[in-house]
Amino acid sequence: MRVRFRSFLTLLAFGAWLVPTLAAYAAAPAPEMSAEELAKGKQKYFERCAGCHGTLRKGATGPNLLPDKTREMGTDVLSVFINDGTAGGMPAWGPSGTAIFTDEEVNLMARYIQQDVAAPPEISLGDMTETWKLVVPVADRPKKPAHKRNWQNFFGVVLRDAGKVAIIDGDTKEKLAELPTGFAVHILRSSESGRYFYVIGRDGKATMIDLWSEKPTIVAEVKPCAEARSIDGSKFKGYEDKLAIVGCYWPPQFAILDGQTLEPKKVVSTRSMTWDTGEYHPEPRVAAIVASHYKPEWVLNVKETGFIWLVDYSDLKNLNITMLEGERFLHDGGWDATHRYFMAAANMKDTEVVVDTKLRKVVAKFKVGVKPHPGRGANWVDPKYGPVSSTCHLGEGKLSVWGSDPEKHKQHAWKVVHTIALPPGAGSLFVKSHPKSGHVWVDFTLNSDTAATQTLCVLDKANIDGKPNCFQVTDHGRVVHQEYNKDGNEVWISVWDKGDKGEIVIYDDKTLKVKTKITGLQTPTGKFNVFNSRNDLY
C-alpha cells in the first residue's frame, strides 16, 4: 500500500513538472529564420518531405510534423531524425546517409518544420485554363506515324532534376528527344492508343508528348495543381484518348482534361470525411489512378480519407462518383493479370485493398508486410497457387505474394501464399515483371545502407521461395525502378545519380548479364515502355 502511495506521489510530482513543462514547450516560439531561409526551407520541404508528411504537415506515409510536436522535439532531436532517417523507411537525408542535405540544410529543415503551417493557394478551373497551352493543334498532327521506328517500344525516361523527359528508342537505344516537362517530373502514362505520353511533374504541370510526329514533340501542357503525382487517360471502348485526368496533392482535387489537347474541363475537390472515423480531412490527396477496362471510369486512391473513388467520365455535366471504403493511407497499386481487380496499397496499415472493377466494389482487404510499396506490382502464375500478385515493402525486406484469381483458385484468392525474405533489407520501392519473363525484380532504393541501395534482387517465378539472386548493379548513385522492353526480354534499370552521372543499365532478363548502358543522363528515375504501359503489363 505504502509503495502504491509513493508511486502516486511520484506520479503527482512528475505531473506537476510535466504539465508546465509541456505548456512551456507548446508555447515555445519557432526558432528564428530569415526570409531567405524560410524560402529555402519551403522549397526543400516541397521537394523532399511533402510527399510523405503532407503539404499541411498532417502526416500520411510519414508522421505528422505539426508545430506543437516539432517544437517539443526541438532542433537537435529533429536534426538527428533528418540526418539519420528511421527504420520505418524515412531516408537518411544528411551527410551520414544519402547526403542529399548538407549539415546546414539538415539544421535548416529542423528549424523549418517548427514554423507555423501555411496553406498554399487554391487553383480554380479558370486558373488552370490560364496555364493551358495547345502547342500543336490536333489538325496539325500526323494521322499516322511520321517515321518508321518501332514506336511501341519507345521508353519515356524521367530525368527528375533536369525537369525533362527523354524519349529513347528501345530497339536502337538512341535518345530521340529530351523534352522540358516541368519541375521534378514524376511519372508518365500512355494513352489508350499508345501514341501519346501523358506526363505529370511534382509541380502539378501536365504535358502531352506525341510519339507519331517525326521527332517526339510536346503537343500540349497545362498546370491543374501546385503539386501532383498521378495522371492517366480514358481507356474504355469508345473513349480512347478522349479524356485525361490529373490527381493533385495540392490543392486536394482532381482535374478532368480533354485527352487530345489537355484543355481543362472539370475540377472536383476531394476534401471530405475519413472512411472509418468520419472525421473531416482538409487535405485528402489523390495518389494512384487507373483507368477501368469495364466501365468509362477512373479508379482513384484518395490517400488521407482512405476512400477509393470511381469517377464515371461518361457524363461530365452530371458527374457520378462512387466512394468505396478502402483503408488509410492509400498510395500506389496496380491491376491483376486480367485487369479486372485493382489492388491498392494502404501503406500505413500494412494492407492491400482489392477493388473488383466489374462489380464496382471492394472485395478484399488483407495484411501484408510493413509499408507495402508495389509501384504497379508484379503478376505471374505460381506452379502451386495459380495466378498471383505481389508487393515489396518500404518498412521491411520482404516480398509478399497472394493469390489473385478468385474465379479458378478461389481458396487462395486474396490470401498471402508466399513471404520471401529479401536480404538487402527494407526500403524497396518497386517490384516488376512481365508476362513473358521468368523473373521478378525488386529494388531497395530507400535502404539506409548505400550498398543495398545499389543492389537488386531477382526471383525465379517457378521457384519463388528459392534463394533470391541479389547483386550490386552500380558503385555510384542508387538503383531505382525496373521496366521491361516490349518483348519482355530486357530489363531497364535507372542509376539515379546527380549531374550527368546517371545512367540506365540494360540487363538481358534470361542471362542476367548487362547488355548495354545508356550513360550521361541527369537523375533518371521512372521509365515507361509504351507497349507495357498501354497494356498494363507487369
- Contacting residues toward ligand DHE, per CB under 6 A: 50-52, 158, 160, 186-187, 229-230, 287-289, 331-332, 375-376, 429-430, 445, 480-481, 525-526
Closer to ligand DHE by CB, 213 or 533: give it. 533
Closer to ligand DHE by CB, 187 or 248: give it. 187
Question: Catalytic site residue 90?
Answer: yes
Which one-letter DSSP state was computed for residue 285? -
Question: Catalytic site residue 339?
Answer: no
Shortest distance (Å) from residue 376 CB to ligand DHE: 4
What does the angle CA 402 – CA 409 – CA 389 come to, to the nearest 5 degrees?
25
Question: Catalytic site residue 331?
Answer: yes
Shortest distance (Å) from residue 55 CB to ligand DHE: 10
CA nearest to 249, candidates 181, 329, 156: 329
Question: Catalytic site residue 49?
Answer: yes
Closer to ligand DHE by CB, 413 or 493: give it. 493
Shortest distance (Å) from residue 103 CB to ligand DHE: 22
SS3 107: helix
Shortest distance (Å) from residue 48 CB to ligand DHE: 7
Question: Catalytic site residue 439?
Answer: no
- In this structure, what C-alpha cell is assigned to residue 489? 526480354
CA nearest to 344, candidates 275, 285, 290: 290
Whether the CB-CB separation of 175 and 207 falls below 8 Å is answered with no
Closer to ligand DHE by CB, 128 or 287: give it. 287
Which one-letter DSSP state was computed for residue 526? E
Shortest distance (Å) from residue 17 CB to ligand DHE: 39
Whether the CB-CB separation of 196 and 246 falls below 8 Å is answered with no
Shortest distance (Å) from residue 193 CB to ligand DHE: 19
Q: Which residues pair with 258 in a beta bridge?
A: 243
186, 281, 331, 481: the catalytic one is 331
Secondary structure percentages of the chain, helix, strand, coil, to 5: 20, 35, 45
Which helix (H) or strand (E) is 6 found in, with range?
Answer: helix 2-27
Output 87-90 pairs: Cβ under 8 A, ≥24 positions apart.
87/395, 87/426, 87/448, 88/370, 88/371, 88/394, 88/395, 89/61, 89/371, 89/394, 89/395, 89/426, 89/427, 89/446, 90/52, 90/62
Shortest distance (Å) from residue 230 CB to ligand DHE: 3
Closer to ligand DHE by CB, 90 or 128: give it. 90
- In this structure, what C-alpha cell is assigned to residue 277? 472515423
Closer to ligand DHE by CB, 123 or 187: give it. 187
* Residue number of the CB atom closest to ligand DHE: 51
53, 339, 418, 439: the catalytic one is 53
186, 281, 339, 373: the catalytic one is 373
Please give the Cα distance from 500 to 491 (Å, whole number): 21
Closer to ligand DHE by CB, 160 or 164: give it. 160
Please give the Cα distance from 230 to 187 (Å, whole number): 7
Greatest CA span in the chain, whole angstroms?
A: 91
Q: Where are the beta strands (DSSP E) in 373-468?
A: 378-382, 386-391, 398-403, 416-421, 431-432, 439-443, 455-460
Closer to ligand DHE by CB, 79 or 533: give it. 533
Question: Catalytic site residue 147?
Answer: no
Closer to ligand DHE by CB, 213 or 447: give it. 447
One-character DSSP codes across 380-406: EEETTTEEEEEE-BSSSSEEEEEE--T
Shortest distance (Å) from residue 23 CB to ligand DHE: 34
Please give the Cα distance from 356 to 324 (Å, whole number): 11
52, 208, 248, 348: the catalytic one is 52
Please give the Cα distance from 427 to 443 (Å, whole number): 8
Shortest distance (Å) from residue 377 CB to ligand DHE: 9
Catalytic residues, by residue number, are 49, 52-53, 90, 331, 373
